[in-house]
Amino acid sequence: MRLLRVATCNLNQWAMDFDTNLRNVKESIARAKAAGAAVRVGPELELTGYGCEDHFLEQDTAAHAWECLKDILSGGHTDGILCSIGMPVIFKSVRYNCQVFCLNSKIVMIRPKISLANDGNYREFRWFSAWTFKDELVDFQLPVDISEVTLQDTVPFGYGFIQFLDVSLAAETCEELFTANAPRIDLALNGVEVFVNASGSHHQLRKLSLRIDSMRNATLACGGVYMYANQQGCDGGRLYYDGCCCIAVNGDVVAQGSQFSLKDVEVLDALVDLDAVSSYRASVSSFREQASHRTNVPFVKVPYKLCKPFLSGMVPTGPAEVMYHCPEEEIAFGPSCWLWDYLRRSRASGFLLPLSGGADSSSVAAIVGCMCQLVVKDIENGDEQVKADAVRIGQYKDGEFPKDSKELAKRLFYTVYMGTENSSEDTRSRAKRLAEEIGSFHLDVPIDSIVSALLSLFERLTGKRPRYKVDGGSNAENLGLQNIQARIRMVLAFMMASLMPWVHNKSGFYLVLGSSNVDEGLRGYLTKYDCSSADINPIGSVSKQDLRAFLRWAAIHLQYSSLAEVEAAPPTAELEPIRANYNQLDEVDMGMTYEELSIYGRLRKIFRCGPVSMFQNLCHRWCGRLSPSEVADKVKHFFKYYAINRHKMTVLTPSYHAESYSPEDNRFDLRQFLYNAGWTYQFRKIDELVEDMDKDGKWENSTEGELRKRKGVRSAQGGGMGVVAVGSANPSAGS
């Protein structure tokens, strides 16, 4: 048996923080060596951090990466272990995203990335070029100071594999795991047994199974050992890299790291049997036939052994059960870890949240509470880095440290209920009870006097005083009065965040947390520069439906029982007066349900539908529920308000990325923000389609009975798919 111990890792890197990144890389190598590993792979671009973005265009960034690599090589860290280290490399004036393979203080080869990630949140072609030469390895002239350490002038550069005396090994980088013509296919046919993948993959709800299945299928089809490393944490932007380093062998996952963690370094190792790889491949006749007339891939010979012979007690690592978190757990743990990284790295002293008692702000509060629970748990488990950060942020003295999540929350989490005459006692009491359950420092701040002062000023200036619509006012008056309340809350929140630490004799400042969800952003159902405007927002890319499921989960698993009552309450902005015959409701204001908004969002972004194709899709989806003209009205209504409010996305608070249909303008969803909100051409085409469908009669014949039955039920229940409330108050439309 040829037994090989391999190690992979999750590293919490921070873009451009070379000290932190180098320290984590060294620590991961040391742990891998301590475990007896002969191969170690780290995350993509681990020396610089993956999220450097336009900093990659600076010569300094590549130069500092070489300086860090020199430190690793000269310090003997690679003695006795093959290390793949991710960094940018400039070759003949072209910048490449590379893995540098080092062994015994030498560079074995440099492998540039072949397939760059350039969709969604990724813009690699902006900074790097793909390596396109697959037929040869070329000589790379090392920097002088590196050459002095390694005693090498040049090293092999390009696409290929490393042939040791007892094993062959090659690399893929992140995106190459998911490409149709993946490098591993030709490499496997050339006899490569071990694949290392340095990745920079971010969290997205329900995405992990795609990654795990890709690794399983890669080794199921071609056999082999697949080592996957990833970043883990917030490296300075909207993304949370969700770790989950893995080792797979012949279709089975044999080791899996954590997906969400506060740790800076996590190392995973496994003992793999390479003869099992050879046996697996030799048993598949189609693999043998394809390998017998393969295309040769260039390689580097290294006269060195990595494997160990079989000894008594050495048992290869067996298959493990893959751990998946449910979406509710992902919402709890992902944003919690992201918030902790942001808090400790920003040098802030805590968070301040305008807590309304509604579903969105209560979700954010619960996530901060979950963060406090995770911190205390990790301290109990002996994590000294988490303990040191918590002591500094919480400003503990005389050897004290957090032992209770509520006590920690009291030190670093402020919640503020900013009520008006339009606020209900229900939301006020829910906010107070949730704050008590979490342990936050809670304030109840009436803002009616500030609203009244502004209205009096406006009246002195204009001679007019606006009224709410329920009191006879116009839509413009109604909207203006709602926006005044919303914007006062933003100003007050930032004021308190900067001054409350001073009031309590604490140093530093608090970060203001936003709480608008992805559906409200898509529809524009928020006031520009209200409490949706904050420093950061942990739920800005989470749907309302997922948040409500999270609230039900958190009420039990986080033991915040008041969240069950929050989830059961109908969503309301509470910006208009409450009357016996009127109560403001979000879905009526929007003219659509949150369920419908999620459908529109997925069709618009994921399935790339414009107004016409969305109409056609929904005609099929809602066949028997709505007539073509009703579907057309809904699609037009959505696109009208999407267009009117798109400008709000340009100032959207930086939000944790969690959902594939996020409308976030700055990085993910790149579109104009000034539209013809009438969509004259597109809406005319929809009208023509409706007219053709009505003339054809097939739609009417196939759905007439079902429509009548459903309309009868809706009339009896007073509900349905969501009524378009024409002329309803819409906090924010165009404001």
DSSP reduced 3-state for 100? strand
Distance CA 686, CA 117 (A): 36
Q: Is 322 exposed, middle or buried (0-12, 13-18, 19+ CB in 10 A)?
A: middle
* Beta strand ranges found along 167-324 (DSSP E): 168-173, 194-199, 225-233, 241-242, 246-249, 252-256, 265-273, 299-301, 308-309
Which backbone phi and psi does 180 adopt, to 5 degrees? -65, -45
Pick the catalytic residue: 33, 84, 98, 113? Answer: 113
Beta bridge partners of 172: 197
Strand (E) or helix (H) holding 459: helix 448-462
Which backbone phi and psi does 548 adopt, to 5 degrees? -65, -40
Type of residue found at 331: I
* Interacting residues of 448 by C-beta distance below 8 A, sequence separation 6+: 420, 421
Sign of CA dihedral 270, 271, 275, 280: negative
* Interacting residues of 497 by C-beta distance below 8 A, sequence separation 6+: 352, 414, 509, 510, 511, 512
Distance CA 130, CA 119 (A): 15
Q: Is 520 exposed, middle or buried (0-12, 13-18, 19+ CB in 10 A)?
A: buried
Pick the catalytic residue: 174, 222, 337, 609? Answer: 174
Pick the catalytic residue: 168, 356, 405, 516? Answer: 356
Task: For residue 329, indicate whether it is catalytic.
Answer: no
Distance CA 71, CA 48 (A): 14
Task: Show the tokens assigned to 257.
Answer: 């790291």
* Interacting residues of 481 by C-beta distance below 8 A, sequence separation 6+: 466, 467, 468, 473, 575, 576
Q: Are 543 and 330 in contact (CB under 8 A)?
A: no
Task: Show the tokens assigned to 449.
Answer: 């006097």
Task: For residue 174, indicate whether it is catalytic.
Answer: yes
* Distance from chain centroid for Cα 709: 43
Classify residue 441 as left (phi > 0), alpha (psi -120 to 50) or beta: beta
Distance CA 183, CA 171 (A): 8
Pick the catalytic residue: 44, 328, 437, 576? Answer: 44
* Distance from chain centroid for Cα 538: 10
Distance CA 124, CA 231 (A): 17
Terminal-residue alpha carbon distance, the chain: 70
Task: Show the tokens assigned to 720.
Answer: 């349905």
DSSP reduced 3-state for 445? coil
Strands of 350-354's sheet, edge to edge?
441-444, 413-417, 350-354, 510-512
Task: Show the tokens assigned to 435.
Answer: 């704050």
DSSP track, 547-611: HHHHHHHHHHHS--THHHHHHHSPP----S--BTTB---HHHHHTS-HHHHHHHHHHHHTS---H
Task: Show the tokens assigned to 512.
Answer: 């203001």
Q: Is 195 exposed, middle or buried (0-12, 13-18, 19+ CB in 10 A)?
A: buried
Task: For residue 67, indicate whether it is catalytic.
Answer: no
Task: For residue 356, indicate whether it is catalytic.
Answer: yes
Beta bridge partners of 109: 101
Task: Show the tokens assigned to 555.
Answer: 């009420």
* Interacting residues of 634 by C-beta distance below 8 A, sequence separation 6+: 592, 596, 618, 626, 721, 722, 724
Q: Which residues are marked as active site? A: 44, 113, 174, 356
